[in-house]
Amino acid sequence: MAYSDFTQAKLEASFGLSFSQTSSLIAGVEAIATSDYLQQTMQRNLPLATAINTEKIRSELLIAPILVELKTLFPSISFFSGTEFNVDAAQGLNGYCDFLISRDPDQLNIKAPVAIIFEAKREDLNAAIPQCAAAMVAAQRFNQNHGIERGSIYGAVTTGSVWRFLKLEGEHVTLDLNEVYLNPLGQLMGSLVVLLQLEPLAIA
């Protein structure tokens, strides 16, 4: 069993998770200025990603450049792509994460605290939510195993052009019903910056 094998029912049964929805998971987001390089990259990449329309190409052309920009804004973070994140194989908390952000700058190894999990999908974001939530549980336990008990774990399911965000706090998962779009780019970047800045003292 791996992250991709979980359903909401399995998450509820295995980990006692509960789920709810909100329209204000990320409140008060302000657009932030993005580099000319990122804007030009997205202008070039979006038509190509839309035409080819596979998860792999969307990850490479749309999501990865955004995370590189985020790394530039926050040098103290690290991000990983397509990395094996095995935390507890006996409970199915193993497998690959499309993208993962840690608040530790080490780019050679994943270190706590893991802050955000991303799952990339070509379509049907709802179907990706259980997989993302399972990886968020793994991130929570990974942090706890490294002595970090407090703090929320955030997640995103995305096609690269449409994003939806999740929050895991304790055993409760909150899903934001609002979709955030690639354009305007500054609004999406603002949302990601807000996630990285939430509760910085609790999980530092």
The pTM for the full model equals 0.92
Weakest mean pLDDT among 59-63, 150-154, 166-170? 150-154
182 part of a folded domain:
yes
- The per-residue pLDDT for 70 is 92
Q: Inform me whether the pLDDT recorded for 40 exceeds 50.
A: yes
Please report the pLDDT score of residue 124 as a whole number. Answer: 86
DSSP 138-197: HHHHHHHHTT-----EEEEEE-SSEEEEEEEETTEEEEE---EESSSHHHHHHHHHHHHH
Q: Is residue 14 in some structural domain?
A: yes
DSSP 77-142: -EEEEEEE--SBGGGTB-SEEEEEEESS--SSS--SPEEEEEEE-SS-HHHHHHHHHHHHHHHHHH
Sign, CA torsion 65/66/67/69: positive
Would you state the pLDDT for residue 27? 72
- Give Cβ neighbours of residue 196 (< 8 Å, ≥ 6 apart): 70, 74, 77, 101, 103, 115, 116
Yes or no: say if 98 and 41 are a contact pair by the CB < 8 Å rule.
no
- pLDDT of 202 > 70? The answer is no
The answer as to whether 37 is a domain residue is no
pLDDT at 198 over 70: no
Averaged pLDDT for residues 34-45? 96
CB 173 within 8 A of CB 17: yes
Q: Is residue 126 part of a domain?
A: yes
- Across the range 17-29, mean pLDDT stands at 89
33 belongs to a structural domain: no
pLDDT above 70: percentage of residues in the chain: 96
Domain assignment of residue 171, given as a range: 3-23+46-197
155 pLDDT higher than 80: yes
Give the Cβ contact number of residue 10 at 10 Å.
15
The percent of residues above 90 in pLDDT, for the chain, comes to 77
Instruction: Say if 203 falls within a structural domain.
Output: no
Q: Between these two residues, 182 and 149, which has the higher pLDDT value?
A: 182
- Confidence (pLDDT) at 125: 92
Q: Which of 40-49, 72-81, 123-132 has the highest mean pLDDT?
A: 40-49
What tokens does 155 get? 């997640």
Segment (H or E) for 18? strand 18-22
Report the SS3 class of residue 28: coil
Structural contact between residues 101 and 155, judged by C-beta atoms closer than 8 angstroms:
no
Residue 11 lies in a domain: yes
Q: Is the pLDDT of residue 88 over 90?
A: yes
pLDDT, position 81: 94
pLDDT band for 189, please (50, 70, 90 cuts): very high
Query: Is it the case that residue 92 has pLDDT exceeding 60?
Result: yes
Burial group, residue 91, by CB count within 10 angstroms (0-12, 13-18, 19+): middle
How many domains does the chain divide into? 1
Mean pLDDT score, 27-48: 92
Strand 78-84, strand 162-169: pairing: unpaired
CB 101 within 8 A of CB 196: yes
| Confidence (pLDDT) at 82 | 92
Domain assignment present for residue 34? The answer is: no
